[in-house]
Amino acid sequence: MTCHVPPWTRRKFRMKLISNQALTCHPCRRFPKEEEIVKTVDDLLEKGFVEPSKSPCSPPVVLVEKKDGSYRLCVDYRILNETTIKDPFPLPRIEVFLAKIGNSTVSSTLDLHSGCHQIPVKKEDVPKTAFAIHNGKYQYRVMPFGLVNAPSTFSRYMTSSAICRSF
């Protein structure tokens, strides 16, 4: 199965845990809109963003409706986030960014679709991203939405990338 992550993505998402304690497993419960959950997971499977899992971890999932009426699959990573060593990399401040471009005559923007899914997860950390739905257990091969260090990892990647440098 091919993972549709851009080939230029060399940085990998890593999760360092405070301890090697076993992550709590939750029983999989039934959800409203299960067909939408299955459809979303099937799409992630087809893109190569998730794969079947045998991980002992299985936090619950919930669907959140987006403004356009589509759904985002959200995994409840609170227990994993509590045991993760926090990445102190700062998120960009809008005031600093606006000050840099304030006198520019030309600027451009770039919208990265599913930004978190642009960064692969380190192989040894993939099982930590597992989640369960009623028809099986899956794990992310790319950085999922909802992990405590995802914003700082994405910010570090964008800051170091030529895409977001000032010219």
Place of tokens 């471009």: 101
Q: What is the CATH number of the domain that holds 147?
A: 3.10.10.10
Nearest to 148 by CA among 22, 19, 17: 17
How much is the pTM?
0.76
Q: Provide block-wise average pLDDT over 10 residues at a time, the chain (167 residues).
A: 54 69 59 84 94 90 88 89 88 76 70 72 93 92 92 80 54
The reply to whether 58 falls in a domain is yes
The reply to whether 159 falls in a domain is yes
- Write down the pLDDT at residue 107: 66
CA contacts within 13 A on the Cβ side of 58: 17
Query: What DSSP string describes the chain?
Result: ------TT----B---BSS-PPPPB------TTHHHHHHHHHHHHHHTSEEE---S-B--EEEEE-TTS-EEEEE--HHHHHTBPPP-PPPPPHHHHHHHHTT-S-------TTGGGGSBBPGGGGGGG-EEETTEEEEESBPPTT-TTHHHHHHHHHHHSGGG---
The reply to whether 23 falls in a domain is no
The reply to whether 100 falls in a domain is yes
Give the structural domain span for 150. Answer: 34-164
Would you say the C-alpha torsion 139, 142, 145, 146 has a positive or negative sign?
positive
- Write down the pLDDT at residue 94: 78
The reply to whether 90 falls in a domain is yes
Tell me how many domains the chain contains: 1
pLDDT digits (tens, 9 = 90+) for 90-129: 777 778 777 777 777 776 666 566 667 788 999 999 999 9
